[in-house]
Amino acid sequence: MLEFQKPTVQVANWISYVYIRKTKYFQFMSETLPKNNIFKVIGASSLGTLIEWYDFYIFGSLAVIIGHQLFPEDAGASALINTLAIFAAGFIVRPFGALVFGRLGDLIGRKYTFLLTLVLMGGSTFFIGLIPSYKTIGYAAPILVLVLRLIQGLALGGEYGGAATYVAEHAPENRRGFFTSWIQTTATLGLFLSLGVIVITKNILGADTFGDWGWRIPFLLSIVLVVVSVYIRMKMHESPLFSKLKAEGNISKNPLKESFNNKANFKMVLLALFGATMGQGVIWYTGQFYAQSFLENTCKLDFNDSRYILLWGIAFATPFFVVFGAWSDKVGRKWIMLCGMLLGIIFYRPIYQTFLDDTDPTKMDMSAATFKLPKIKHELIAGTPDSLHTSITQVMLTNGTSFSKVQVDTVSASRGVLPAKEVIRDKILSKPVFWKFVGLIFFQILLVTMVYGPIAAFLVELFPTKIRYTSMSLPYHIGNGVFGGLVPFIATLIASFAGSTPLSGLWYPIGIATLSLIIGTIYLSNKKDEHIND
Amino acid sequence: MNILKKFLGLVWMVLGPVAMTFLFLQAVDKVGLTHTDIERTNTMLQWAIILFIFLPISLGLMIFGFYAWKGEYDKLPDSSEEI
């Protein structure tokens, strides 16, 4: 006859502890949240977060046009670098937003904090759409935009941690990766929406009108989206775990102190930053932002073509956020994220080299090219007797590729014609190359889904409820906002150094991702903390 | 693995100041290259921002290295409750 061995007292205590804890948790969740309501929670949280990302990314997607509006006409490349610097400023203040609003979220609750961030974000985006250009108010224009951009950054710093925490605290413990991955789709979908609105507005208004004032429409449209989202969020309830903590009088009195003055917690903040979010940030912004900037500014692709490529890539890859989020519930978060970083390190240079090679006119078969008659334009340079002589020749190849050869010569009254170097721009790709580029962008965004899909669940599980908003927001926004957000700016800056190649800028994301991969591999644990109601 | 974690802690402690020194030297070099009479091409502000932002982060990397050296990451908490 089989005889069961009597468990020891410790084992029996442990079993009863786990049983009671699990039972209480499920009782608590079922009391506070009807089963199908999790999708309402996700829907309402995701919509607001998506709109915040949309607001945040319109600026970057319009960097070239905004640069022309905010800086003097003769500023040239420095206008783009300065505009990217303003764009980057929004990222740099995100950790400060994480501290300010994270603290608020741990003190007064998740719901009202991310309502506030939504209003701040929407308001500042709307006002960017109203700022007069450099021609009208001089350097006040970039300064005002910088201030509004800083408010945007602060707001976003408070938003994401709140939304991720809110959803995670509603989600069943064995499917936290799956449910929080919906929040993870919002950043990419926000970018998708911003690109879509920009392309549609430009196509309706025409390139000239869009460059003149039409670029303001995507900013102004934000206010409508925010009103809808605020209305929906007003109807949401507070997070059940936070409400429970508040009812028990256990909320943190000083979240900042408890997060960063407590060594046990602070060491996890550092580990989350260097072992995960830092690498995740550079992979995210290389695959989605730098890629588009590279296609438009380095490869000189047509404005719409570069955005269509990204739109298709995003559309195909976005479902994988949920796939990898759900998969991380089964196999753990660590290796999926680190695998995404490793693939980025290996493949970035070959991918970007392909972008360069396939758009290089010197490597194209020009034997049967058709040259249209050049369009000639003369413009007087204000305040001088000199003028600019612009010649634009459109070249069309038999495979469907086309581009413009642009030459702007200065006709000086005293020194005659001063010829400038011919520039090739507005490249439109042949169909096979276009889809090849979509595939390469898709692959990069697939890596984004690997590093980003599971990371909300990973961060939420790392920290206790009463300081979760603050503790997870800071490493996320330093990693994603500072390391990631600075990718277009730093990579463009590196590529502008003397002796650099167009691929030199990639050393920044590759280096950061390598460091994060090493730290993550050695120090991170793949274990999931299923109980987050502590 | 714990020995590797510990000794890599030394690398992170050194890497923090090395990265900052490298950035500082790069900033001096690149800002020095620009023509001071053309204000708009001067990248001093951009470099100042980069240094300002990465200074506390490199300090964080040093602290991370110090914790690793002290064995703080030898056993990670199984649950956030242990924090």
Q: What is the pLDDT of residues A302-314, one digit of tens each?
A: 988 999 999 999 9
Question: End-to-end CA distance of chain A, in Å?
Answer: 43
Say yes or no for a CB contact (<8 Å) between B64 and A271. Answer: yes
Rounded to a whole number of angstroms, the distance from the CA of B50 to the nearest CA of chain A is 9
Say if A336 falls within a structural domain: yes
How many domains in chain B?
1
Say if A179 falls within a structural domain: yes
Angstrom distance (rounded) from CA A114 to CA A163: 7
Q: Is residue A401 within 8 Å of residue A358, measured between CB atoms?
A: no
- A333 in the same domain as A259: yes
Say yes or no for a CB contact (<8 Å) between A497 and B57. Answer: no
Q: Give the closest of B8, B60, B81 to A531, CB-based.
A: B81
Say if B63 falls within a structural domain: yes
**Which stretch of A2-11, A56-65, A420-429 has the lowest confidence by average pLDDT?**
A2-11
Please work out, in degrees rounded to the nearest 5, the angle formed at the alpha carbon of residue A450 by the alpha carbons of A447 and A454: 155
- A374 in the same domain as A345: no
Angstrom distance (rounded) from CA B36 to CA B33: 9
* Chain B residues within an 8 Å CB radius of A489: 46
Say yes or no for a CB contact (<8 Å) between A71 and B80. Answer: no
Residues 6+ apart with CB under 8 A from B19: B54, B58, B61
Say yes or no for a CB contact (<8 Å) between A268 and B77. Answer: yes
DSSP string, A106-155: HHH-HHHHHHHHHHHHHHHHHHHTT---HHHHTTHHHHHHHHHHHHHHHH
For chain A, percent of residues with pLDDT exceeding 70: 90
- A331 in the same domain as A183: yes
- In this predicted structure, the answer to whether residue A519 has a pLDDT above a threshold of 90 is yes
pLDDT the model gives residue A30: 42
- A446 in the same domain as A422: no
Residue type, A385: P
Say if B44 falls within a structural domain: yes
Q: Is residue A181 within 8 Å of residue A322, measured between CB atoms?
A: yes
Which domain covers residue B23, as residue numbers?
A: 2-73
Residues 6+ apart with CB under 8 A from B48: B27
- In this predicted structure, the answer to whether residue B30 has a pLDDT above a threshold of 80 is no
Once rounded to an integer, what is the mean pLDDT over residues A101-127? 86
Average pLDDT over chain A, rounded to an integer: 85
Say if A378 falls within a structural domain: yes
Say if B14 falls within a structural domain: yes
Angstrom distance (rounded) from CA A127 to CA A279: 33
Secondary structure (3-state) at A400: coil
Say yes or no for a CB contact (<8 Å) between A534 and B73. Answer: no
Angstrom distance (rounded) from CA A302 to CA A325: 35
- Of A6, A479, A2, A51, which Cα lies nearest the Cα of A278? A479
How many domains in chain A?
2
Q: Is residue A161 within 8 Å of residue A105, measured between CB atoms?
A: yes
- Of A125, A119, A127, A152, which Cα lies nearest the Cα of A227? A119
Question: End-to-end CA distance of chain B, in Å?
Answer: 23
Which domain covers residue A178, as residue numbers?
A: 36-359+430-523
* Chain A residues within an 8 Å CB radius of B79: 529, 531, 534
Secondary structure (3-state) at A426: strand
pTM: predicted TM-score of the whole model, two decimal places: 0.83
Residue type, B28: V
Size of interface A-B (CB pairs under 8 A): 84
Once rounded to an integer, what is the mean pLDDT over residues A43-55? 82
- Say which residue, A357 or A161, is predicted with more confidence: A357
- Of A354, A437, A431, A361, which Cα lies nearest the Cα of A395? A361
pLDDT the model gives residue A299: 93
**Which stretch of A82-91, A101-110, A137-146, A320-329 has the lowest confidence by average pLDDT?**
A82-91
Give the mutation candidate from B23, B28, B29, B40 for the A interface (greatest A CB count, under 10 A).
Answer: B40
Rounded to a whole number of angstroms, the distance from the CA of B35 to the nearest CA of chain A is 13
CA separation, residue A269 to residues A66, A241, A260, A477 (Å): 36, 21, 8, 12
Catalogue the E-assigned strands of A223-282.
Answer: none
Angstrom distance (rounded) from CA B72 to CA A183: 32
* Strand partners of residue A370: A396
- A157 in the same domain as A181: yes
Q: Does residue A92 sit at the B interface (CB-CB below 8 Å)?
A: yes
Convert A27-44 into a string of H (helix), E (strand) and C (coil): HHHHHHCCCCHHHHHHHH
Say yes or no for a CB contact (<8 Å) between B53 and A92. Answer: yes
- A396 in the same domain as A347: no
pLDDT tens figures, A144-170: 988 998 998 898 888 888 888 888 888
Reported as half-sphere exposure (CB side, CA atoms, 13 A), residue A112 has a value of 8
From its phi and psi, is residue A386 left (phi > 0), alpha (psi between -120 and 50) or beta? beta
pLDDT tens figures, A256-288: 888 788 888 899 999 999 999 999 999 999 998
CATH number for the domain spanning A490: value is 1.20.1250.20
- A473 in the same domain as A385: no
Band (A531; pLDDT cuts 50, 70, 90): low
Angstrom distance (rounded) from CA A153 to CA A121: 8
Say if A2 falls within a structural domain: no
Among A428, A455, A476, residue at a domain's last position:
A428
Band (A6; pLDDT cuts 50, 70, 90): very low
pLDDT the model gives residue A270: 95
Say yes or no for a CB contact (<8 Å) between B50 and A486. Answer: yes
Q: Does residue A532 sit at the B interface (CB-CB below 8 Å)?
A: yes
Say yes or no for a CB contact (<8 Å) between A268 and B60. Answer: no
Residues 6+ apart with CB under 8 A from A174: A329, A530
Say if B80 falls within a structural domain: no
Rounded to a whole number of angstroms, the distance from the CA of A78 to the nearest CA of chain B is 6
Say yes or no for a CB contact (<8 Å) between B63 and A81. Answer: no
Q: Give the closest of B49, B60, B76 to A270, CB-based.
A: B60
- Say which residue, A50 or B38, is predicted with more confidence: A50
Give the mutation candidate from A270, A334, A518 for the B interface (greatest B CB count, under 10 A).
Answer: A270
Say if A333 falls within a structural domain: yes
Band (A335; pLDDT cuts 50, 70, 90): very high
Say yes or no for a CB contact (<8 Å) between A493 and B40. Answer: no
- A486 in the same domain as A509: yes
- A150 in the same domain as A293: yes
Among A412, A428, A444, residue at a domain's last position:
A428
pLDDT the model gives residue A2: 42
From its phi and psi, is residue A503 left (phi > 0), alpha (psi between -120 and 50) or beta? alpha
Say yes or no for a CB contact (<8 Å) between B5 and A498. Answer: no
* Chain B residues within an 8 Å CB radius of A268: 76-77, 83
pLDDT tens figures, A168-223: 888 888 889 999 999 889 888 888 899 899 999 999 999 889 988 999 999 999 88
- A311 in the same domain as A262: yes
Say if A28 falls within a structural domain: no
- A382 in the same domain as A314: no
